[in-house]
Amino acid sequence: MLRAYMDEDICCFNAIKQMCEWFQTMMSTESSDICNNIKTIVTDAQQFVTDYKDHLLRRDERMVHGTVYMLFEMVKVFFEESGKNENRSTLKTSAAVAVNLLFQVLSVLKEITAVSTKLHVRVSTLIQQMSDMSAFVCENVTDTFIGISETMTFICLHYLKLYNESPIKEEQMPQWLKETILHICDTILNLLEPVFKKVALSIPIEKLEELVVLIHKYLLMLHEIISGVVTPIDEEVLQALIELLGETKPCHNLGKDIPLLLSTYITPYVINVIGIVYSYDDFQKYLISCLKDSIQSKVEYFYVCIGFITAVSKDAAEINESTCKTIERIFEYLFKDASNFVNCEKYDLIIESYATLLFLGESYFLFCYFFMGLFEEDIILAQACADVLMLCFRLKEVNQSWNQSEIEKALSFWNKCNNTYSMFSQQPSQWHVQRFLKYFHRIGKKELPDFNMENFRYISAVPPSQMGNKLLQCLENCSSDPPTQPEVYYEMAGILDLLAQQNNVDCSKWFLRSFEMAKELLSNGKSMVFFESYFKLLAKENKATQLVILRGLPPLIGDACWNQQKFIFTCKASDDPQLKAFSARLSIGNNIQSILDAMFRQNTSVDTSVDLWSSGQDLSIESIARQKHECSVSSLKRKRSDDSAKEILKVMYEKSTQFRQSNLSSLEAADWDRVKDIVVCLTSICNEKNN
């Protein structure tokens, strides 16, 4: 019948439809001779295509598409039936004929498509039919399966070009385009399962290289199609691309050569595909929605995020504002809790990916985001931002991208940032600022300025290695009496703090000469800044000096001075009997004792078998107490000689009110003499004003 219709000049599309319905009816009828019927039909069909291919190609596209559809149905039924155990042996002898028929029909379809000049609704039906048929053509990967996929790709690319040239665009992705992309994505994901999932291999281990090369071919098909997509992307396609992007790391060891094969044939080409669609609003919105939903669904998108960042890094195009926002949301997702922060491998991967992006992308908006992140109240985000910036700077250094002018500007900038903090600030963000100041000081090969109060923050951030004797001389020049001027007080504390960062500087003589002055400061309980530096330096002195100071300390120690209590704790744990004996009478605050126990615990082996990532420990955002950091007033506030009279008066009034409400019974005669001196001083000021 087909031969007869090929010789007719009239359109016989309805006859083709009738024959297709007849075939489907015959195959659905229960018959003991169904296998022989299929063999006969497939053999005749194969002979028909061989003899009448040229006749068929001279007919209109509608006729060719109808015939192809019917022949595809024949091939599909053949392989569907041959997959059943009871029919396998019977149909096995005709398998080569069915495969030959399939390739001939695919060839006809490609040839008629190549000369097509307009879109046809029938294309979606044929694409869907080929996608369905691919599930039956074979159980394992064969050239037949690849042939179907390559034909689908060829047809899709041809009609995609026509679609993009058409002035009329659909509101949704065309079905033929959607089905082709999903077919290829699903094929890639299925082929990747033996590599990326902990499942039993369906092929021998020695065949994995062939499998990886095959996946590479499919990735090239997908890349070619995606390169031409300019339409709204269907949600199912977006989901498939996200799943594909997440498959970047093997879950189990498959041999030493597999990682190299993956890095050669798979990972770069997955990134290339995503590099085309990453900037589309549809893709970014869908990705962000996935990240938001992951909190409830517990789905892990770590490698999806890393793949996205890598794709952006590889793209030479300028990063637009929308993409910057997506990159920021991804960063916040990765640090939504502590799980990635405590996982060394994942944390390093995040920092390396973002630092590379920052270096290659040269985005002002992203740089500002990470700079502002240094001052986040969330200490995890702040630390991650600091590490990203530092690695980016080091990448510039390695690639010789810094010039002297840029270094000078950066050094000046970070120095100004550092100077905005009070002299003995304990703000965590200052640690990051000082880290960058130290870095640019090093690469700028700058000389340290002479020590003075204005340069204290700079010198403190960049600890000098050969400045100990100069600092000690400055300390010797300070009065041995208790400092009455704020400038002298803070200068002494600053020198002590810097000396504590030096090595091989003997300060024992100064400690012995100044101990009476130090005891007087200690007795008033208001010199915590001084004593933090004092005991920090004392901890580095010889035991003889430590013993002299220890013997003279008053019996009760408050909780406020951390370095003081740390010093006493180390004396209690010392192997020196005298240090141990004299420290026994001194107490340590309960809230400090547990911290010091953890820091200096002796003879305790660390259990390296515990992995926070897999131990089931709760690392969620709710489990971490991230309170706003607030330093005590005494450690932040610096008295300045240039304060206005109004400000001084305000402070005096507040302090006098506090003084009146405090326990005055503890004051001694010397204290009351000081009160009288204050009253006399204020009275003389009032008298001068009145006169």
* Structural domain includes residue 625: no
Instruction: Please indicate, yes or no, whether residues 473 and 570 belong to a single structural domain of this protein.
Output: yes
One-letter amino acid of 615: S
Q: Are 487 and 557 in the same domain? A: yes
Could you say which DSSP state residue 447 is in?
P
Tell me the one-letter amino acid at 308: F
The CA-to-CA distance between both ends of the chain, in Å, stands at 129
Q: How many domains does the chain have?
A: 4
Q: Does residue 301 contact residue 246 with C-beta atoms inside 8 Å?
A: yes
Instruction: Mark whether 104 and 160 lie in a shared domain.
Output: no
Task: Report phi then psi at 548, rounded to 5.
Answer: -60, -45
Instruction: For residue 668, count other CB atoms closer than 10 A to its CB.
Output: 9
**Residue found by looking up tokens 């010198």 in the block:** 459
Four-residue CA torsion sign, 239, 243, 246, 248: negative
Cβ neighbours for 386, distance < 8 A, ≥ 6 positions apart:
373, 374, 432, 435
Verify that 92 and 188 share a domain, yes or no. Answer: no
C-alpha closest to that of 301 among 240, 243, 241: 243
Strand locations in 159-282, DSSP E?
A: none
Whether 177 is covered by a domain: the verdict is: yes
Domain final position from 277, 306, 336: 277
Whether residue 513 is found in the same domain as residue 595: yes
My answer on whether 187 and 239 are in the same domain is yes
Cβ atoms of 108 and 64 within 8 Å: the answer is: yes
Same domain as 674, residue 550:
no
Place of tokens 């794709």: 311
- pLDDT score recorded for residue 500: 87
23 within some domain: yes
Query: Where are the extended beta strands (E) located within 404-455?
Result: none
Of 457, 426, 432, 430, the closest CA to residue 631 belongs to 426
Closest CA to 342 of 154, 619, 682: 619
Q: Please report the pLDDT score of residue 247 as a whole number.
A: 73
Residues of the chain with pLDDT under 50: 557-558, 602-615, 621-643
Q: Identify whether residues 273 and 166 lie together within a single domain.
A: yes
Dump pLDDT digits (tens) for 459-509. Answer: 888 876 677 788 888 888 776 666 777 878 888 888 888 888 887 788 888
Mark whether 98 and 27 lie in a shared domain: yes
Is 578 part of a structural domain of the chain?
yes
- The pLDDT of residue 617: 52
Q: Which residue shows structure tokens 């640019």?
A: 440
pLDDT in tens, 87-101: 777 788 888 899 999
Kindly state whether residue 217 falls inside one of the protein's structural domains: yes
Residue 77 near residue 27 (C-beta atoms within 8 A): yes
Burial of 397 from C-beta contacts in 10 A (0-12 / 13-18 / 19+):
middle
pLDDT of residue 345: 93
Q: Which two tokens stand for residue 226?
A: 């995606």
Assigned domain for 146 exists = no
> Do residues 33 and 103 share a domain?
yes
- Of 277, 312, 345, the position where a domain reaches its end is 277
Looking at 566, 582, 599, which one is the last position of a domain? 599
Q: CB of 389 within 8 A of CB of 433?
A: no
Which residue range forms the structural domain that includes residue 684?
651-691
- Is 296 within 8 Å of 260 (Cβ atoms)? no
Domain contains 225: yes
13 part of a folded domain: yes
At residue 47, the pLDDT reads: 92
Together in a domain, 564 and 683? no
Q: Residue 380: what residue type?
A: I
Q: Which residue has the tokens 């530096």?
A: 533
- Measured in degrees and rounded to the nearest 5, phi and psi for residue 241 equal -65, -40
pLDDT given for residue 248 in this prediction: 60
Same domain, 14 and 101: yes
- Which 3-state string (H, E, C) describes 312-332? HHHCCCCCCHHHHHHHHHHHH
Residue reference for tokens 């820091």: 599
The CA radius of gyration of the chain, in Å to the nearest whole number, is 39
Name the residue with tokens 């600022």. 433
Quick count: other Cβ atoms within 10 Å of Cβ 334? 25
pLDDT of residue 437: 93
